[in-house]
Structure 1
Amino acid sequence: MAAKEDQVNPPTATPITPPIYISTPTLHTLLTHKSLIHHLQSTLPTLSSAIQSPVRQSHQTSPSSSLLLMPSWSHSPLLPYIGVKLVTFHSNNSTLNLPGVHASYVLFRSFTGQTLASMDATELTLYRTSCISALASDYLSRKDSETLVMIGAGSLAPHLIKAHLTVRPSLNRVIVWNRSVEKAKTLVENLQNEGGFEGICFEVSNESLEEVVRVGDIVSCATSSEKPLVTGVELKVGAHLDLVGSFTHSMRECDDEAIRRGRVFIDNEAALLEAGELVGAFERGVITRNDIVGDLVELIKGEKVIGRRDSGEITVFKSVGSAVVDLLSAQLVYETCMKNNQYSSHE
């Protein structure tokens, strides 16, 4: 009988590391719009095909609120993660001075299923949404764009402004239009107090929306409107229209004429099924699905799809968000956090 010391010991189990929590203040130290734009630009073309992402589940929890579930997982050793984002949308929160969207994100290791991290994804969503818009703008807006019109003054608006300014340093004027002029004033004051915007003139518009849209080289919309805000006839030659707010058939931030006049791009295929501007345009025969020029990955690769072709055309980018981008954004946050040791363990 073999002595105990001669027996082969079983393999040592991988140590269990407590999951970490990444707070919102910490997330702000880990992310910049510039770093996330660069990360998405480099990873989307190479890793998006390795990520499985079912169509998001959307549940109406009340006439004015909904719950969204957005899972994704990767088969690539370069992205060894499973992630799930849980999102609530309450359209009436503005009356309570609260954001309309709240979210949490949980990250797991794909090879073991171990929970790695959780984070407040409300802010993560604001970063990723704005950076996707800015990344598309880098390919679609004119490089000499000077005036950005921001329609909406909610929690996403400052992120969109910062992200667009990141990719278009030629911008020197930002006009904020909101149904509540006071909210627009607050947004502008906050940005001015924050600083770091040398050479940028921030304005609050007291004019009609039609007049404001006419001067925009880039027009970015982040609202939950169910009535068209941007009328296509008012878009100037060479304008870029960025549509962020709608994600249901009833929501609509622009009219059919804006869709008809523009070369339309989307962030991903879900936009064809969810975005009110596009679904309605298809139903009314304004355009067909074949008229959609391409998605963001195709835009970045530049193989099948060309972005802006000349200074005179109007471009439209419609995003609805995706679990793929959530996973890549969470990857950057988590890996930067671990590298910098900026986290708290769950007890």
Structure 2
Amino acid sequence: MSVFGTPEDFARALENLRAPDAAVRAKAAERQAQLTKPPGSLGRLEDIAIFMAGWQGRERPRVERARTAIFAGNHGVTAHGVSTFPASVTVQMVANFHAGGAAINALSEAAGLELRVIALELDTPTADFTVAPAMSEAECPAALNAGADVVTGDLDLLVVGEMGIGNSTAAAALCARSFGGAAADWVGPGTGVDASGVARKADVVARALAFHADAPATAFETLRRVGGREIAAISGAVVRARQLGVPVVLDGFISGSAVAPLAAVNPAIAEHCIAGHCSAEPGHAALLARLGLEPLLSLGMRLGEGSGAAVAVGIIRAALAAHDGMATFAEAQVSGSL
């Protein structure tokens, strides 16, 4: 399926964003006010339930069919030594996902999430974006549509994650081009590079930004020029989920960076998203602030793979269980309110 056949299709989808059901949100908020607890006493769990109700269009939202989508891609920018691991690790980790041996396999199972792994032309890394666009004008829509294809209207929730050696460098470039700031403001250790490695990454990002400085500041062009296939796929999944009214749980810095070019054009794009956690990658907190998202968890995680988002699904399930399962004051025959 080709939802985003052209850059113009993608731009139109980003301009015309679906809104949550305000009437259902109001009913969910009314139910929260009637439950046997002091108002607001469940804190953000109440907000999550109302959020989910609005996007699902159900006063009592549920998570019966939920999916983790992990996108994998390789990056030509690894030629500059921006990672402690070679690009071949991407292929090896995808094999590990399929074999069931990765963290995301265990965490998705624990969270009741169906896991899909989408490998995107791993034998053909993107171009070195310090000297050329990362993707051609045909490759970028293909990646966007690979993401859109994993989203179906029957999903109650979508978790997005990634795997790609070198993609924290691409993520930093995407954030810097989308929101400004110096390259050094957005780079971090990624897979564990030392201080000299971080400095090298910052130099690579700065060179990429300079090379593409005159390119159009559209979401499509930013993704095409300094992104990666797996990151563009997450962007496509996020926009398609918005079209279908499916709430999305973002993982860490890299999956969040897929939203950065979108939010730079239309900040409302993040409104159907939940930040699963704040990772240990230094740029992630700044990115979440720019997206207007408050993370559910802060556990010092920095693995990627959708791992932090999968853990956060347990919090979302708890919020919906309380919203649906608690008695109202009338049902419990409790007089007045607490």
TM-score, structure 2 normalization: 0.26
Q: Which one has the bigger helix percentage?
A: 2
Q: Based on CA coordinates, which of the two structures has the bigger radius of gyration?
A: 1
Q: Which one has the bigger strand percentage?
A: 1
TM-score, structure 1 normalization: 0.26
More relative contact order, 1 or 2 (CA 8 Å, 6+ apart): 2
